[in-house]
Every structure is written in C-alpha cells, then in structure tokens.
A and B are shown apart, each in its own frame.
Chain A
Amino acid sequence: MLTLQTFKAMVAAAGDDIRAGEKLFSELDAAAGGDGDHGTAIVTAFNAMAKADGADFKGYLKALSDALQAEACGSTSTLYGAWLQGLGEAAPEGAAALDAAALAAAFKGGLDEIGFTTRARVGDKTLMDALIPATEALCAAQGEGVAAMLDAAAAAAAAGSEATAGMRAKFGRAKNLGDRSIGPRDAGSASMACIFAAFARAAVE
C-alpha cells in the first residue's frame, strides 16, 4: 500500500531534487535549442505544488494540479497540470492509501490525460520519453508491490531520458535546430526521470 502521507513525502523529495537540478535542467534545455528556462519552469511548478494539500489522493492531486497551473507558465504548467489532474481523476474516491492496482490505474490515468494535451510520444525528445516507459514499467510490475513498481518506473524513466540524447527534437523551439538538437538529453525528460527517482527513493524511506 502507498499511503497519502508517504506520497506527500515523495512529492516533497522530488521538489528537493528538482531544486538541486535547476541549473542542469536549464543548461540541457539551452544545449538542445530550447529557451533555456526549463529549470526555472519546473522549480516554479514544484514551489507552487509545495503549497498544495488534500485529505485524500483525489483532493491532493487536484490541489497539486490547480496550484501549479495557477503559478507556473508555459508548457510545463499545462503538461504537469494535465498529468497530475489525470492521476487524481483516476484515483479512487476518498482513498488515503492506494494498493498496487489503484496506483497503476492512477498513473495510467495521468498518462492518458497528458496524452490528450500533447501529441508527443516516445522518440520525439520530450518528457514523454521518460513518462511513457516509466508508466508502462510501473503498471507491468503491479504483481511485485508498490516499492518494486516505483523502482521499475524510476529505472525506465532514466533509460528513456538517456535515450533522448540520440534523438532529433520534434516539438517546441528545439525543433527549429533540426539535427543540431541531437547530442544533449532532453531537459523535460531529465526532470521527469529525476522525479521518478525521488519517488522511488522516498517511498521506502
């Protein structure tokens, strides 16, 4: 089981790691031809999320989504807003703890919702390169329990993000660089992998 209290600790841990990686995320963004502001955007999002609270998974996830959409700007705000909203909508009514099946369903709901907002999929050099394999690995490990699911997700997100180094950007400003966007990892996938790594670590602490 994953309790709401543990999940809140996971979000806090992700916030700490994201803040520590701010400079790296901005540098990766600039290196691949983006605006060079991904670090700022994702830190703004987590700072906004730190103010959110809720009494059950549904309420807490909706509060996270609303808080970051109110304060963060640009694609990070919209994409993370959709992801967290989808996670919350797929969470069971009034639940303060999720079993393996409910956790998998929530993450699947999050991925579905973000998929309606962006057309990007695996191979397009975006955060979806980390999120899609992470969600799939998490769902596939359902029989092994919550901790194993989050470990599998973290490993898949890291591998997915690493793979973006060899990709050509197809979305955002980096797209204009064409082949010159090949080389650095995608910043959005790097921050997403960082979040899943923090989730896995904080879930067992």
Chain B
Amino acid sequence: MPMKKFLNEPANLTKELLEGFALCYKGRVKIVSDKIVVRATPKDEGKVAIVTLGGAGHEPALSGFVGEGMLDASVVGDIFAAPGAPKVLEALRMFKREAGILLVTLNHAGDRMSASKALRDAQKEGIKVVEIVTHEDISAGIDIDPEEKRGLAGCVPLYKVVGAAAEAGKSLEEIVDIGERFNRQMATLAVAMTGCTHPQNGGTIAVLPDDEMEIGMGQHGEAGGGRSKILTADETAARMIEPLVQATGVQAGDTALLIINGVGATTLMEMFLIYRKAAQILADKGVNVTSGACGEYLTVQEMAGFQMILCKLDADHLELLKAKARSPYWTA
C-alpha cells in the first residue's frame, strides 16, 4: 500500500507534531525537555501527580489527555516506540512531591521496561511513586495472565478517574485503590478492517484482504472470533459486546461506561452505529449505561477499525467520571 501522508523530514516527526500540538493548545499544555508534555498551569504541589508514558503516532493519545482533571505529564517516545527510562525518570524528578506520583503504564514491552527501570531509579532517589499497569485487551483471551494482555484505549477513562481523584485531593493510596478497581473492571476488544503504514519508513503494518475484518489479535483470536468476512455494524457490535460483558462481569443493575475509540479511518458515523447496538444490548440485559463516548482517542495512523471499551463502574468511579476535566481531547 503506497503511503499518502503530509510529512516533512521523518526523523523530526515526533518533535514537529508535539510542537504543533502545543501551539494549538497553548495556554493549556506545553513541552518541556523536548518530549515531556505538561500542563501550562501546574496543579497544586500538595496533590498527587499523574504521569504516563508511550510512543507517538497514536494521536491524540497520550498527550491529548494532559490537563486539569486528567494527566499532569505525558512522556513521549518516538513513533510507535517507548521513551527511554532516563526520560521517564526526568519526568518523575520533575513531579517529585510529598503527596506522591501515580505512573500509569500501558502494557507494551518497551513501555513496561522503561517504566520499570525509571520507577526503580526514582524509588532509590526517594521519589514517592506507584505504578498502575493497564492491561485490559481481552483479544488473546479473557482468563489469561494479565501480563499477556495489552493496554489499549482503556487508559483514557482510567486517566479521567485517577485524575479527578487527584484533583479532589485524595491520597496516593486512595487513588491507587480507585485506579486498580477501575483497571480490574474494564475490558477492551479491537477490530481492524485495513492495516496502516509506518509514517517514518512507509512500511505496511497488518494487512487484511479487501473483504475481511479481524476481531482481536489474529493469531489466536479466542475472545473475538478472529477473521471473518465483513459483518454489518449490528453484527459486529453484538459479537464484540458479549465477550466484554463476560470479561467485566457487568450484569443487570450495574452501571457501565461504553466507549468506542476509532483507530484512524473509521468514521464517527460508523462509531455511532456500533455504539447504538452495543448500548441496546447492554440495556436489554438490564445494565444502566451511563453517558459514554465515541471518537478518536488512541489511534493507529490510518488503520480502519475501532476499540470497544466497557467499564463496570463503582459509585465513586461514576462521580469521578463526572468531575471537571479540561484536557485538549477529553472534557467533562
């Protein structure tokens, strides 16, 4: 597939996209030390700081969620590549405080390694920091070892919940409890229709035949059914929501949050069709579906497809989701 993208020098891509992002949202975010995105107006030092890390090329993730009520900092790597441990440590030093820091890491090998090293170095220096690892992707199986599950766009509502708790002045221990409960009760399933190109080298990532789609990861695809001919929106939604219900344990009387995250080329029109059917199925089961979200939060270039995220909510999660948030790509 030939690459058609508006680009400059590939080596400068991450730097330039971050500059554009900061110019666009000036007064809300700024870049410090090349690859660390922080709030333009820092949060009160007496409150717990929320820091995350990850590669670029997934815009608006992750830096799009830096802002009041959400993240304090996002440490950016390069396109599809984790930042190095020294950069993560630099951010942790920047936010060192008595209240402590919550580091949110998505479960991907490179991110985990950098985070683990930075976390250990920070703790040796006496920085109070606790890590939450998100691993909510059920495509390789619902009951498998959480270490084998990837972290997908479920990090976004988790940022919202822990960010609001930090803003409310809760302690690091309380925020970890809130975040880990949220983490355990959410699940994500992805579907792809087309692959995409790596913006720095034009290489093709994940190829699918023209008339096929793929739920889950492909190799096993236990939770999603794997490859099939393209289904209707209703059929796709139904096939995806059932394993998510099973994974989260959501049942009649529970309150749940449903999010459809477009990964690049799938239209908002299609996302609404998917949301409609999935929400109807949940309602038929007696689940109280709170106000949700459809949009592009964590993308994979021009890949067509989406991630469906289901979160079973406790009462405090529901309140925290409603609290004020003013990040560039998530407001409440």
Which residues on A are within 8 Å of B, measured CB to CB?
69-70, 73-75, 77-79, 81-82, 113, 116-119, 171-172, 176, 178
* Complex alpha-carbon distance, A69 and B87, angstroms: 10
Tell whether B132 is near chain A: CB-to-CB under 8 Å: no
Residues of A within 8 Å of B113, CB to CB, are 75, 78-79, 117-118
A-B contact pairs, 23 of them (CB 8 A): A69-B84, A69-B85, A73-B78, A74-B82, A75-B110, A77-B85, A78-B85, A78-B113, A78-B114, A78-B117, A79-B113, A81-B85, A82-B117, A116-B117, A117-B85, A117-B116, A117-B117, A117-B120, A118-B116, A119-B147, A171-B109, A176-B219, A178-B219
CA distance A70 to B81 in the complex (A): 15
Closest-CB distance, B53 to chain A (whole angstroms): 12
Binding site for A on B (CB under 8 A): 78, 81-82, 84-86, 109-110, 113-114, 116-117, 120, 147, 219
Interface of B, helix, strand, loop or mixed by DSSP: helix
Task: Give the chain B neighbours of A119 by CB distance below 8 A.
Answer: 147
Query: Bound state CA distance, A7 and B19, in angstroms?
Result: 44
10 closest A-B pairs by CB: A78-B113, A117-B117, A117-B116, A116-B120, A78-B85, A69-B86, A78-B117, A82-B117, A75-B113, A78-B114
Residue of chain B at shortest CB distance from A178 = B219
Q: Determine which of B81, B117, B219 lies in contact with A73 in the assembled complex, contact meaning CB atoms within 8 Å.
A: B81
Closest CB of chain B to A158's CB: distance in Å?
25
Assembly CA distance A40 to B126 (angstroms): 35
Q: How far is the CA of A117 from the CA of B109 in the complex (A)?
A: 11
Q: How far is the CA of A70 from the CA of B86 in the complex (A)?
A: 8
Q: How many A-B residue pairs have CB under 8 A?
A: 42
How far, in whole Å, are A81 and B85 apart by their CA atoms in the complex?
A: 9
**A68–B120 CA distance with the chains assembled, in angstroms:** 18
B117 and A172 contact, CB distance less than 8 A: no
Q: Given the complex of chains A and B, what is the CA–CA distance between A176 and B78 in angstroms?
A: 22
Q: Which B residues are CB-close (under 8 A) to A69?
A: 84-86
State how many angstroms separate the Cβ of B113 from the closest Cβ of chain A: 5
- The CA-CA distance from A70 to B82 in the complex, in Å, is 14
A77 in contact with B110 given A116-B120, A117-B116, A119-B147 (CB within 8 Å): no
With A and B bound together, what is the CA distance between A133 and B110 in angstroms? Answer: 25
In the complex, are the beta carbons of B116 and A73 less than 8 A apart? no
Assembled-state Cα–Cα distance A164/B110 (Å):
21
A81 and B110 contacting across the interface, CB-CB below 8 Å: no
In the bound complex, what is the Cα–Cα distance between A172 and B109 (angstroms)? 6
Most buried by B among A70, A78, A81, A119: A78
Complexed CA–CA distance, A142 and B315 (Å): 60
| Cα–Cα, bound, A73→B114 (Å) | 11
Shortest A74–chain B CB gap in Å is: 7
A74 touching B110, Cβ below 8 Å: yes
CB distance from B120 to the nearest CB of A (A): 5
Q: How far is the CA of A79 from the CA of B82 in the complex (A)?
A: 14
Give the distance in Å from the alpha carbon of A172 to the alpha carbon of B110 in the complex. 8
Beyond contacts A77-B84, A118-B113: 10 other A-B pairs, Cβ-Cβ < 8 A, are: A69-B85, A73-B84, A74-B82, A78-B114, A78-B117, A79-B113, A116-B120, A117-B113, A172-B109, A176-B219
Chain A residues with CB under 8 A of B219: 176, 178
The answer for the CA separation of A63 and B247 in the assembled complex, in Å, is 47
> Which chain A residues lie closer than 8 Å to B110 at the CB level?
74-75
The reply to whether A74 and B81 contact each other, CB–CB distance below 8 Å, is yes
